[in-house]
Amino acid sequence: MTSPLKTPDTDPPGWLERRLPVMSLLRRQYVAFPMPRNLNALWSFGAFLIVTMAFMIASGLFLAINYTPDITQAFASVEAIDRQVPSGWFIRSLHMGGVTMLFACLYIHIGRSLWYGSYKAPRELLWLTGLGLMLMVMVTAFAGYVLPWGQMSYWGATVILNAVHAIPLIGQPLSELLLGGDTLGNVALHRLFVLHFTMAFAILGVIALHVAALHVVKSNNPSGVDPVNPSQTLPFHPYYTSRDGFALCLFLMVYAGLVFFLPDLLTLADNYIQANPLVTPRDIRPEWYFAPFYAILRAVPSRLGGLLLASGSLAVLFVLPWLDRSTIRPATRRPMVRLSLPLAFAAFILLGIAGMHAPTPAWLLASRVAIAWWFIHFLLVMPLASEREMSS
């Protein structure tokens, strides 16, 4: 007696899963994924960054549809978005507020990694991809800052491009590649628009790489000791999804307050004036998230020297896993680092405040002191602390 033939349509449940195991992968990586039990609220900022990036891309697509990358029409097109396009003011405020929230969360996220030693082995690649994301976000934000073609956009970009031009050998070709000529004009604006648009999607790819690296080496935790048995972990869902969901509600309340009640904090007043290459603003100031690096540029009389120090302030972070060879991760268990790192954080904040003020002798002195301590911490204190801890 022969059994009836089975067709693919009569297969038992799990037909798709056996051929494309997406659901089991998602369940394994985002539901049952083991997380340390002792994570604190600072670990929620990674989720804030992903949600904010989603808002940025969604609102950016809408703005790109209504924006005209032409120096004679760019400012007017932004004004039209604010005043004539239905809900355009809200979408633009969402985008501008997103930049502020993105950088705030990014700096806190990196500061948390520094405090708890999340850059140490085996998480070096996780750290490097995170820093790469920070640089990509900075480039994207710079390109986007020029697009409204306001006074501060134009002159802020001019300062940065002049600094780039001072780099030996590659400075002039690089600035010409960005500008397409001798000064900011139609070609430069169009190229910056394309750069801003495409970099956003490149960031999504690196975020995927960053998350993949996290799921390979697992998350660090405040104690700095990796869990060794299941009793020291909790599944990501429902424990951390519910906690991050509650934290995200608080985060979105702050985001909404910024968008609806404090829109004047999102940009400088001079940027509501159309760019005029013949009129230099009395005080060129960047947005707050670029202010620390702008303060470094101003603190050094040489344009090249300022650019090298500003670049070096980020470069030391890339080599930190090799500067700090101690096996102890959290700063709370490292006496020298526990004293030095908060001063480095304070130096970064001081640079940000200095960058938002006129370059008076007092602010220039404060900037130079802050720069000195930033490099002393990473280039001197961290290696010395490592040697001391490894020898004890």
- Which residue blocks in 22-123 are alpha helix, DSSP H? 22-30, 45-66, 74-83, 88-115
Contacts with 246 (C-beta within 8 Å, 6 or more apart), sequence order: none
Say which residue the tokens 């056996």 belong to. 18
Q: Which residue, 16, 95, 105, 22, is CA-closest to 57?
A: 95
Name the percent of the chain in helix, strand, coil, to the closest 5: 70, 0, 25
Which residues line the annotated binding site?
Answer: 95, 109, 196, 210, 215
CB neighbour list of residue 384: distance below 8 Å, 6 or more residues apart: 336
Rounded Cα gap, residues 259 and 268, in angstroms: 15
Q: Which residues are annotated as a binding site for heme b?
A: 95, 109, 196, 210
Decide if 190 contacts 184 (C-beta within 8 A).
no
Q: What are phi and psi of 44, to 5 degrees?
A: -80, -15
> CA-CA distance, 201 to 207, in Å (whole number)?
10
Burial of 241 (0-12, 13-18, 19+ CB in 10 A): middle
Q: 């204190």: which residue's tokens?
A: 381
Q: Cβ(219)–Cβ(213) under 8 Å?
A: no
Q: Measure the CA–CA gap between 259 and 78, rounded to whole angstroms.
A: 17
Q: Find out whether the peptide bond into 227 is cis, omega within 30 degrees of 0.
A: no
Residue list, annotated binding site for a ubiquinone: 215
